[in-house]
Amino acid sequence: MQNLTINPQRLWDTLMETARIGGTAKGGICRLTLTDLDREVRDWFRAQCDALGCTVTVDEVGNMFATRPGKRADVAPIAIGSHLDTQPTGGKFDGILGVIGGLEVMRTLHDLGYETNAPLMLVNWTNEEGSRFAPAMLGSGVYAGVFDRAFADSREDRQGVRFADAIEGIGYRGDVAPGAVTFGAMFELHIEQGPILEAEGKTVGVVTGVQGMRWYEVDLTGREAHTGSTPMHLRANALLGASRVVERVNAIALAHAPLAVATVGLLEVKPNSRNVIPGHVFFCVDMRHPDDAVLDAMERELSEAVPAIAAEIGLEVSFRKTWDSPAVRFDPDCIASVRAATERMGLPTRDIVSGAGHDAAYIARVAPTTMIFVPCAGGLSHNEAESTTFDECSAGAQVLLNAVLDYDERFGR
């Protein structure tokens, strides 16, 4: 394998360039999937790939695949990918580092005229965040056969806009069936989104898998009434019920410490008036653990707690699971290529299991896959203050390049 080096300044400048698309006043990004801003960054991405001579293909759920030919057309491409969409208050690095890092790999090979054995493919997965259309990782999930296109098309955001209408609206409904564009392996570069690497002084996380995660939606319906004239014992306060469930969610996670986590991150109260007892509350629960058996236990505890709490207050309840992503173990050969890359560079590393969901978790079902993590300041992500350094981004992209070339030498011939 030749000693090829990325251009760190170009990588950083490109990250900052794309951060202006949907940039917020606090220095973050709001670029929700299938919005006009998503269309703008997609158009930018396509133009960069066209400039490198790549062939860009878009499938029916908007996943974008940019392919650079290799010496052998009979060998499946090696994919590099992540996502361009963000949270409503997202940062400059979550997701897009993996896409721009992959673009820098392509640019480096193009500049040096280096031809890999296998073709290379750069991927932008649709709706990874799930912040507009639930569940998360929808594009990669359809690609991997976890969901079908009809399911994706039927998803609605909180304003009632359907995924189908949104993707048609920005002009990114491709004509290729999901899964028809194939590849032989995938590497995803990402910030850790947690504090472990920074706390231990490690430059790179060698990701061995992703913990299991489940999402639930809960509706509690009571009775709206005047706050001043309704006695406490005659109330059916939906917000009181939701508050007790939130506390119970936290207690369930603590009971399965130290690896379990659980959160209520979205809550809508109606009618949301200061002198009206809340008659309806909608909220979402997120539970995660590396062991699916433990998640089963957490789910049982939650499913028993919600109706019991509702009954105590006299509330009607709707409880449904909207997403179930089992724990994932990544491919040993892909992991070995990442290890070889970090050893060659002499970087301090540690094995790590991802606490966050990523497209790689679904792609691992259909192709050899792994991930590369770099630190983020304070472990902070899904936040406008999300920060990763110039050197950390550079190291991650260089590891990505070296890992892909190592894998190509072993399996692309």
pLDDT for res 2: 64
Residue 160: φ, ψ to 5°: 85, 10
- Residue 61 tokens read as 């759920």
Strands 204-210 and 328-329, bridge-based pairing = antiparallel
Annotated ligand binding at 175? The verdict is no
Which pair of structure tokens corresponds to residue 112? 């040096």
The conformation of residue 23, written as its DSSP 8-state character, comes to B
Residue 90 has pLDDT above 60, yes or no: yes
Q: Which residue's entry shows tokens 């998503």?
A: 38
Rounded average pLDDT over 230-250: 98
Per-residue confidence (pLDDT) for residue 3, from 0 to 100? 83
**Nearest in space to 376 (alpha carbons), one of 71, 90, 106, 63:** 90
Ligand-binding site membership of 358 (annotated)? no
Per the model's pLDDT, the better-predicted residue between 379 and 3 turns out to be 379
Nearest to 379 by CA among 206, 196, 190, 189: 196
Domains of the chain, start order: 8-211+327-411 (3.40.630.10), 212-325 (3.30.70.360)
State yes or no: pLDDT of 28 exceeds 90: yes
Q: What is the pLDDT of residues 30-50, one digit of tens each?
A: 999 999 999 999 999 999 999
Query: Do strands 212-221 and 316-325 pair parallel, antiparallel, or not at all (unpaired)?
Result: antiparallel
pLDDT digits (tens, 9 = 90+) for 241-279: 999 999 999 999 999 999 999 999 999 999 999 999 999
Which residues does 150 contact at the CB level (< 8 Å), separation at least 6? none
Tell me: pLDDT of 23 over 80.
yes
43 is in an annotated binding site: no
**Order of strands, edge to edge, in the sheet holding 261-270?**
261-270, 280-289, 212-221, 316-325
User: What does the DSSP 8-state code read for residue 379?
Assistant: G
**Is 129 labeled as ligand-binding?**
yes
Confirm whether residue 190 is marked as ligand binding: yes
| pLDDT tens sequence across 188-197 | 999 999 999 9
| Alpha-carbon gap, residue 351 to 345, rounded angstroms | 16
Has residue 1 got a pLDDT over 60?
Answer: no
User: What pTM did the predictor assign?
Assistant: 0.87
Average pLDDT, the chain: 97
Write the pLDDT tens digit of every residue in 278-315: 999 999 999 999 999 999 999 999 999 999 999 999 99
